[in-house]
Chains A and B, each alone.
Chain A
Amino acid sequence: MQKSTGVQLFLQAAIARAYPRVRGANRELSWIFFEIVVPLINTSAFVFLYYALGAPKAYVGFVVLGGAMAAYWLNILWMMASQLYWDKQQGNLELYIMAPTSLMAILLGMGVGGMYMTTLRAATIAIVGTLIYGVTLDGSQWGFALLVFLVAMVALYGLGMLLSSIFLMWGREAWQVSLSLTEPAYFLSGMNFPLSKLFNTLPGVITLFSAIIPVSFALDALRQLLFPGQIVGVLHPGLEVAILAGMGVVFVAAAYWMLRRMERLAKIEARLSLRWQ
């Protein structure tokens, strides 16, 4: 039997890790309910809040788009960043470390599988939300919007890989940090309101945190492209996509470096198999 090595082994490991996520995406019916119907209900709460406030129709579209992007952020937190923590609790992490492949391949597989799984949910949320609430999108720049989305995904999942490597060292802190990054990220990325409002009112340091979350500029650019003339963007969408591309490169490179460092540290401190701490 011929042994796989190098790039081939890397890709095989990535595909193997992505496989259960792709195959399992729609197997568990309760997940579909939890991940589509429930976010849709949460999104509806914000939509009705805007109705109650008498907001322009475009704001409903902003919320629906935000609801779809929230699915990606949750996937990053709970199925990327915290995944190695879960794997440690379940005893899988030792197996990954012992396997003759790179942890980067495992993370890549996790990312690709998670992206596929989440895209099914996010698309459903966006389509159903658009239909229920009669959101009108301007499709004249759909190609550019697709580019923004794809570049944002690279940056977002790059950040997920980076967080995952940091969480490798942690015990219950990982769980707490993931919990604590949910609503603050929704706030900082302008998930339910135009990002420019935040940038115009908050101190510069906090807007920097906002800018680091790829969802912020992704949403701002997508809203400018899909709702032209109805929102004042923070930056031109072209500039925002360039920043997102830069983030993608930095996050993936940082994840690679950090993973090696954290793996070594975790081995030295014997944390790879340490549970319930």
Chain B
Amino acid sequence: MQKTLEQPEQSLTESAPDQARAERRLTLREVTRTFRVAAWLGWQIESNWADPFVFFSFTILRPLASALILVVMYQVIAGGTGGSFFQYLYISNAFFVLVIQTISGLVWTIFDDRENYKMLKYVYTSPARKFAYLVGRAMAKIGVALLTVLVLLATGVLFLGLHLNFGQVEWGWLIAYFLVGMVVLASLGIILAGIALVVARHGESIGEVTAGMLLLFSGAYFPPDILPTVLKQVTLGLPVTYWLEGMRRALNGGIMTGTFTKNGVTTTGPLSPILAQFDNWQLFLILVLCAAVCAVGSFLFYRWIERVAKERGMIDRLTGY
């Protein structure tokens, strides 16, 4: 209390640059604190309904079942696992967990806090930094998703015939693609969270819905080359397509190739010739550009739609059924 009373006096004696530095420090401290508290809150909400073992089992059950569906579908037709297409399918599916959880985690924060816990209005009336809060709240889901990816890859290697040569993994590219991709996914999530501010509770599945649509339009289960022309163009217009390709390449140690037989002639070539025309640097550049556009776009969009939500009195409006 004493410190607070002293502050105006101090500010009078401080020079302008010092004051600006102090304000930046204060902002950074508030952002960090909001993020930390929101992440802790998100983790409690996600996990404290059960003991750690039950929580982990339930967390892993869904993505593991999704992977098994693909494994069986592949086995039914190909008669086994281990081909390059299986590698493509399995790795994409594992990383797609991050797409679902990051996007839906950010969206769900708004619905959960507004409709379920009825806390969003209190968050807005507190000095909490809204972006830091939003991202922090989603961190638990993103963290769990990351763990799930690792578990899925380990399960694939140990039991399902996935071949990963750790000596061939391009770790630098893996980290670079991962980080840029997370910026893209978080930005998409923030845009949808903004939309969530102005829609009623029955729109709560927009996160999963968007992720579900990306399943078809990101080349996650199959190379985009096999899609009809229009769908192929849509796929090539989405950054998630390039991110998944980057992650596959980095883990595989290069462009994924396969053997094809057509009219009795066997050839070897990339699984996706369209994506193979980009080298790692080009792919990375595309992703960096997408990340920059998405990050700036999502920031501006959220600020605008937040104002709209405030003007319409929607921050604390509950769905009455």
Contacts and interface: CB of A to CB of B under 8 A. Distances in A.
Tell me whether A and B are bound partners.
yes
B interface, by DSSP: helix, strand, loop or mixed? helix
Nearest to A92: B321
Contacts of A274: none
Contacts of B61: 180, 183-184
Given A51-B226, A173-B49, A187-B72, A38 B77 contact: no
Interface stretch (B178-186, B202-210, B282-290): B202-210
Interface string A27-68: 010110010001001101110111111110001000000000
Range, interface on chain A: 35 or more
B73 A49 contact: yes
Most B CB contacts (10 A, CB to CB) among A34, A54, A276 go to: A34
A15 interface: no
A184 B62 contact: yes
Given A49-B89, A51-B226, A52-B222, A187 B77 contact: no
B158 interface: no
Interface in B208-223: 209, 212-213, 215-216, 220-223
Interface residues of B, number: 38
A156 interface: no
B75 interface: yes
A31 to B, nearest CB: 6
A46 B221 contact: yes
Contacts, number: 103
A267 interface: no
Contacts of A193: 69, 72-73, 76
A interface, by DSSP: helix, strand, loop or mixed? helix
Contact of A42 (B63, B72, B215): B215
A53 B220 contact: no
Interface in A1-48: 28, 30-31, 34, 38, 41-42, 44-46, 48
A167 to B, nearest CB: 13
Interface string A184-225: 101110011110011001000000000000000000000000
Nearest to B220: A45
Nearest to A187: B65
Interface string B81-122: 000010001000000000000000000000000001100000
A51 B222 contact: yes
B165 to A, nearest CB: 24
A90 interface: yes
Contact of A90 (B70, B227, B321): B321
Given A42-B212, A171-B49, A198-B72, A50 B62 contact: no
Interface of B: 49-50, 58, 61-63, 65-66, 68-70, 72-78, 85, 89, 116-117, 199, 202-203, 205, 209, 212-213, 215-216, 220-223, 226-227, 321
Given A50-B73, A193-B72, A197-B75, 8 more contacts: A46-B221, A52-B85, A53-B78, A176-B49, A176-B50, A180-B58, A180-B61, A187-B69
11 contacts: A38-B213, A41-B212, A42-B216, A48-B222, A48-B227, A51-B222, A52-B221, A53-B85, A59-B77, A183-B62, A188-B65
**8 A-B pairs closest in CB distance:** A52-B222, A183-B65, A184-B65, A172-B49, A53-B77, A187-B65, A45-B216, A49-B221
